[in-house]
Amino acid sequence: MTISQDNALEQALERAAGEPAYRPAFFKLLLTATVYVPGEAGDDWIAGAARDDGAARDDGASPVTLQHWEKQDGGSAIPFFTSVAALESAVAGPQPFVALPVRTLFAMTAGAELFLNPKLPYGKSFAPDEVAALLSNDGDALTERQVLEGEMRMTLSEPAEMPQQMVASLTALFAQYKQVRRAYLLQVRDDAEQEPHWLIGLECDSAAEEAIQATGQVATDTAPDEQPVDICLVEEGEAGISHYFIHHLTPFYERRWGSWLRSVKDGAPS
């Protein structure tokens, strides 16, 4: 990993910590990264240590011993770092480490808790189920997601008060996904539920699955009181819930074609 890539991952982590809209992009970048883990490797590896040159790199077969650091709650987690510089900032002296692709690290530590950039201003813990979801769903950190399609008997209502953080973060997210044309928000309750939950309707031009995946991550992170969130696809000309969204609600997000076209024009070759 080059220095510029290290910086990109650290910048993505900082953005994700401050704004949920950037978390899907962070997870995707993380899964392509190489990270630095305190520990030691077998004799057939290149030795590495913080404040020294070089690091061991995993080939998927050689044995490694990774450190566990104690957390404030008394438990332990395997630490890993976005860069050698980040690792150096978290330790008091020379520290042996190995460099591992994130997918390799996650696979070889299945069932353990991990922590990215502990003791630093921006970090993130990874529970075992979250790690498993990231690996199996190719960057989707949600362990459970429901997408509503087809006919369902539901009671729909406009929220008395919009969830401001969720709306703001989703608006920032959709600016990154040009395939999202409009987004709507309702509260919904089916016959089996006592309390309503949120329903997000997405109208997309293409690549809906990618937008749904990112929407689920951000909405789950920002829903008030950890309320459940469902997602449905909205299509012009469809009956049922699509018709209700399009003809009875004002979208909380609508793609601004003017700004998108200007950005294309600005970047076009002369």
- The predicted model scores a pTM of 0.75
Euclidean distance between CA atoms 235 and 194, whole angstroms: 29
Domain map of the chain by residue range?
Answer: 3-136, 147-264
Query: Which residues of the chain carry a pLDDT beneath 50?
Result: 1-4, 45-55, 58, 143-147, 149, 258-270
Residue 44 corresponds to which amino acid? D
Euclidean distance between CA atoms 251 and 243, whole angstroms: 13
- Is the CA virtual torsion 41, 43, 44, 45 positive or negative? positive
Euclidean distance between CA atoms 4 and 255, whole angstroms: 32
Say if CB 113 and CB 73 are below 8 A apart: no
Say if CB 178 and CB 255 are below 8 A apart: yes
Taking alpha carbons only, the member of 193, 192, 197, 185 closest to residue 241 is: 185
134-160: per-residue pLDDT in tens? 888 765 555 444 445 455 556 778 888
202-252: per-residue pLDDT in tens? 999 987 888 999 999 999 999 998 888 989 999 988 878 888 888 888 999
Say if CB 148 and CB 232 are below 8 A apart: yes
Taking alpha carbons only, the member of 207, 200, 199 closest to residue 178 is: 207
CA-based R_g, the chain, Å: 22
Say if CB 211 and CB 182 are below 8 A apart: no
For domain 147-264, say whether CATH 3.40.50 is its number: no
Q: What is the mean pLDDT of the chain?
A: 81
